[in-house]
Amino acid sequence: MGIKEILKSMEYGPAPEDTSVVQGWLDAHAEGFGHFINGVFTAPGAGFDVQNPATGRVIARVTQGSTADVDAAVKAARKAQGPWAKLSGHARARHLYAIGRHVQQHARFLAVLETIDNGKPIRETRDIDIPLVARHFYHHAGWAEIAADELPGTEAHGVCGQVIPWNFPLLMLAWKIAPALAAGNTVVLKPAEYTPLTALAFAEICAEAGLPAGVVNIVTGDGATGAAIVGHEGIDKVAFTGSTEVGKTIRRQIAGSGKGLTLELGGKSPFVVFADADLDAAVEGVVDAIWFNQGQVCCAGARILVAEAVASRFEVLLRARMAALRVGDPLDKCTDMGAIVHPVQLDRIRALVAEGVAQGAVLHQGSAPEGCFYPPTLVTNVQPASVLSTEEIFGPVVTMTTFRTPADAVDLANNTRYGLAASIWSENVNLCLDIAARVKAGVVWINCTNVFDAGAGFGGYRESGFGREGGREGMMAYLRSREHKNPPRGVQGELPELQATPHAGGGRDAIDRTAKLFVGGKQVRPDSGYAYAVAGAKGPVGLAGLGNRKDIRNAVEAAGKASGWAGATGHNRAQVLYYLAENLSARAPEFAARLESFGTKGAIARTEVEAAIRRCFWYAAQADKFDGAVHQTKSAHVTLAMPEPLGVMGLVCPTAMPLLGFISLVLPAIAMGNTVVAVPSQSHPLAATDLYQVLETSDMPAGVINIVSGPRDALAKTLAEHDGVAGMWYVGGRDGAAMIERASAGNLKQVWTEADGARNWSGAEGQGRAFLHRATQVKNIWVPYGI
């Protein structure tokens, strides 16, 4: 074809990437790859083949990690962790900087290797993935330098076990390893079975850059190897990116182990197009949202929600753009979409699409070559309940549904169990920001999509997991608080069984005051119809309601109806907490007397009440001061990090200090806009039930605080299993903590458990910003400007 013909047709010519350097590296490892443990590679062992998904050709052989291999890697990481954590932040920063520099020096090699291993287009690995890898190491070199100043009172977890997916093999590695090392942790990482090669090349870079032996260890293998790492008793913190179902399995597997956990899981992200949007720009946004990396992106904009008024025009534009996409050789620089990572994934995509068609969906598809390729696909006539609307396909398939009003758009956007990301398109920035606040997603892009930077956190809500990667909040995920090193009391054992029969212990001169439950702003009788005796220093001091499963259900329902509390300003919430302190202070002698009746000495009882009043003031002060940030990310973007409440929280309070312990859990939760269902001290719940009248006279909206007394662990289990509860705090026994963590996996609640008696609630460790962090989740909103 001559130049004239090319100028007329504008056809792309071939633009192949040179693979000779990478092929030479693969040839040099023709005998196979071992693991990278303690700074050296082990001899290759029995394992499995790695294929180029675009050609089906075997390109390498890697070793299947055994339990012994994992043991060796954890042992090496443990040995290295102490010296690594004791290095100055500056010394760790130099190592991270060196890794980032060496990644840049080998950028083309890594980009080509990633494309051969994964099947994604070379333009994506070259221009997006590898530059972001280097960016993460540079960014976290900065965190290593300043963490002691910016995040005081924290320390490394220890040894981190990390399991990463196949869709962004090297980038996910950087997201995990960079903050872990910056914080002083060491790492045992397992790359995905399909795509282990860039992780092994990265291990060579670590050695080349002079990283101390044992700080980074790479063990290859399948899911069994990952499970061995996650479950290893020598692992202190687990980080996993992958499917929601595997994330739930991990949550259950490590329940009760005390390990830190962050999960970045699946998504079914909405792509919302309003009638006033720039439709041409939105169409290009769809290309980036769903056909980037063949749709194998956890935050892919897989559900287009378009205003009914422009839906027809938008579909015409989108189908025309889809028809122009080039699908084929990922090593060709003109390719838009490469290969699906593995035939197993291709079969899954085909099966889900076939199921959707059987349900009435209509397909509009581009073209794709034979082999492990799938064409770009638009699906119309799809209902919100269709499998294509609800299930994560993880392929280049996008559905399109219309809406009429902004409220309809929000309802459709939130009609998912996930909450990872969303993209909103409109020329009205006020509308965009309003919808961004109402969509349940950890990342919201306005008039853009799939924009990432190490300076901003990434992670989801609901069944998309918890924890963040990147930014300040991502760094905090690899640190823990240095608190209650010397427990003031021994860990509580199992609590005695409650007695609902008359105790025959004798009454008091005062008129009996019935302690009911407190649900929806009202005192209510327990569903069980029973009460149990509350012990005091000289025998029973009263009766408390014996709450049950139905009472918890009613309390969660009441808390859910009080969601307007989250919309109140921080100032308004502060005023209620100040008023609570005022009314508690007016009745301080009464509360001190109640504590004395339990056996607390007079001076100590008065001190506990005064501490509770001060705590009200402290959290009132924080209610309008615990705010977000504008992150330094890409040019021409404002990236807002906004803390939001979790929603309904279940709080299981300490046994000792029944007033102060209750106050210390409830106040930070409600100060941040959550509503709560609190289980007070099982032994001495009357200190909490005495608060009913204080709450009623302090302008506390009905349903914000609900109190159900009774058997601690039975009520806690019901809360942990309830899908209407978004977060759980549990102070109790070890078995109870394990039970809570297992039960919370149903909807992947954010959970904090602690041994009863491990914290001095009257001291400085009884309050702090750490409580506020646990009561919130960060939403990152990306707003471009000037472009």
Identify the active-site residue in 145, 160, 206, 298: 298
Residue 755 to residue 489: CA distance in whole angstroms: 10
- Is residue 305 packed enough to be buried (19+ CB in 10 Å), middle (13-18) or exposed (0-12)? buried
Pair 24, 108: CB distance under 8 Å:
no
Q: Provide the token pair at 335.
A: 């390719």
**Which residues have CB under 8 Å from 369's CB, separation 6+?**
327, 328
C-beta neighbour count of 621 within 10 angstroms:
14
Residue 23 to residue 115: CA distance in whole angstroms: 12
DSSP H helices, 32-106, are 67-86, 89-105
C-beta neighbour count of 23 within 10 angstroms:
14
Pair 123, 338: CB distance under 8 Å:
no
Number of Cα atoms under 13 Å in the Cβ half of residue 54: 21
Residue 613 to residue 46: CA distance in whole angstroms: 65
Angle at 40 between CA 35 and CA 43, to 5 degrees: 50
Identify the active-site residue in 17, 114, 264, 392: 264
Q: Is 298 a catalytic residue?
A: yes
Pair 191, 175: CB distance under 8 Å:
no
Residue 458: closest CA among 185, 118, 171, 253: 171
Residue 220 to residue 129: CA distance in whole angstroms: 21
Pair 609, 592: CB distance under 8 Å:
yes
- Going from the C-alpha of 117 to that of each of 45, 169, 339, the distances in angstroms are 20, 9, 10
Q: What secondary structure letter does DSSP report for 127?
A: I
Residue 334 to residue 777: CA distance in whole angstroms: 40
Q: Is 334 a catalytic residue?
A: no
3-state SS class at 754 = strand
Catalytic residues: 264, 298
